[in-house]
């Protein structure tokens, strides 16, 4: 850690239903013991983590540590990235998971306990990870773009996000997402989507949900892309197709036990570019947030940034 001279922590006090606010004094003391001096920057609302991370990097930070959940991490990742890639390729990213879902660390070896996460950050062992660059329509219908580190899905996932984000998440990430998913299955109607992966033929599909995966898990533990890796340069695309509601409920456990690809009406693809269009409203899910809707174009950005992980 002696080689890292300037460190900034981006802290979301509201993460995990406000528990980060209560835990921060203990985390801060542990961090100063392991890392020495650093700057603490606190978010107050959406978009702050991106702005604060970018400002810290432009001010010379060599290590930026995110304290929060997958949504906060996504914002910090976007603080690292500009239109042409990382704004500071030599800077590294650390993560102390303290969120409602924290699905990303199910794929990437980062401890969930802050003390152990800080021990890992002290080691500064990094791996280069891929990112996805998403172009989409925001809620006002305007073209927008962002990066993501884990999974973007569209269809049922976006409806679930909208429902979860209207609740208090008082039961925690796992229960909140399961309840929202079960309710959404009962009232959601499958969508007709036009999907194209790389230079393949555009396909018209009836689908409950399509996941474009860099990591393996989303939605509070749903194992949607068992073969995905954050450093293989490929998206793993999982299409949950034209199942009846009864079939969805029958196969529901397979969303969590890694057997989703055994379902006959589930298809998978791999590729570096994904395009999707729909004539009806189809909402997006990006690491638990609901940024907008189709149409989308997603491009792979290989080896986009350096993340501290276990060996």
Domains of the chain: 7-124 (3.40.50.10330), 132-302 (2.60.200.40)
Could you tell me the pLDDT band of residue 17, with boundaries at 50, 70 and 90?
Answer: confident
Q: Which pLDDT belongs to residue 170?
A: 55
Q: Which pLDDT belongs to residue 183?
A: 81
Residue 186 CA to residue 105 CA, distance in Å, equals 30
Percent of the chain, pLDDT > 70? 94
Is pLDDT at 179 greater than 90 in this prediction?
no
Q: Which pLDDT belongs to residue 273?
A: 98
Is pLDDT at 58 greater than 80 in this prediction?
yes
- Is 67 in contact with 10 (CB distance < 8 Å)? yes
Q: What is the mean pLDDT of residues 113-129?
A: 96
Residue 224 CA to residue 126 CA, distance in Å, equals 26
Listed range (169-173, 209-213, 272-276, 293-297) with the worst mean pLDDT: 169-173
Render pLDDT for 234-285 as a digit per residue (tens, 0 to 9): 999 999 999 999 999 999 999 999 999 999 999 999 999 999 999 999 999 9
Contacts of 167 (CB under 8 A, 6+ apart): 176, 180
Query: What Rg do the C-alpha atoms of the chain give, in angstroms?
Result: 19
Structure tokens at 108: 């990437």
Render pLDDT for 284-295 as a digit per residue (tens, 0 to 9): 999 778 899 999
Q: Which pLDDT belongs to residue 174?
A: 62
Q: What residue spans of 8-155 are helical by DSSP H? A: 15-35, 48-58, 70-80, 114-123
Our CA angle for 123, 230, 271, nearest 5°, is 165
Rounded to 5 degrees, φ, ψ at 198 are 55, -130
Residue 129 CA to residue 135 CA, distance in Å, equals 20
Residue 111 CA to residue 105 CA, distance in Å, equals 7
Look over the chain and give the mean of its residue pLDDT values, rounded to a whole number. Answer: 92
Q: What is the mean pLDDT of residues 218-243?
A: 95
pTM over 0.85: yes
Residue 39 CA to residue 114 CA, distance in Å, equals 18
């Amino acid at each position: 850690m002696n080689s890292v001279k300037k460190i900034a922590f981006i802290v979301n006090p509201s993460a995990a239903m406000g528990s980060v606010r209560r835990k921060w004094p203990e985390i801060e003391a542990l961090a100063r013991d392991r890392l020495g001096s650093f700057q603490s920057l606190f978010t107050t609302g959406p978009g702050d983590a991106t702005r604060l991370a970018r400002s810290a990097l432009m001010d010379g930070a060599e290590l930026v540590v995110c304290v929060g959940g997958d949504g906060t991490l996504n914002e910090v990742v976007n603080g690292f990235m500009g239109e042409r890639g990382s704004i500071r390729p030599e800077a590294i990213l650390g993560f102390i998971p303290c969120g409602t879902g924290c699905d990303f660390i199910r794929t990437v070896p980062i401890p969930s306990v802050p003390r152990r996460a800080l021990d890992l950050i002290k080691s500064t062992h990094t791996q280069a990870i891929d990112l996805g660059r998403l172009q989409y329509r925001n809620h006002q219908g305007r073209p927008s773009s962002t990066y993501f580190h884990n999974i973007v899905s569209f269809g049922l996932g976006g409806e679930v996000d909208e429902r979860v984000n209207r609740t208090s998440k008082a039961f925690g990430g796992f229960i909140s997402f399961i309840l929202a998913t079960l309710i959404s299955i009962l009232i959601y109607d499958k969508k007709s989507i036009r999907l194209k992966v790389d230079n393949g033929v555009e396909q018209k599909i009836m689908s409950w949900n399509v996941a474009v995966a860099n990591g393996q898990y989303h939605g509070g533990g749903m194992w949607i892309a068992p073969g995905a890796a954050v450093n293989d340069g490929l998206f793993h695309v999982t299409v949950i197709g034209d199942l009846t509601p009864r079939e969805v409920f029958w196969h529901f456990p397979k969303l969590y036990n890694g057997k989703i690809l055994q379902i006959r009406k589930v298809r998978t693809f791999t590729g570096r570019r994904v395009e999707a269009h729909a004539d009806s409203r189809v909402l997006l899910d990006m690491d638990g947030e609901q940024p907008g809707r189709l149409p989308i174009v997603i491009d792979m950005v290989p080896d986009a940034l350096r993340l501290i992980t276990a060996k």
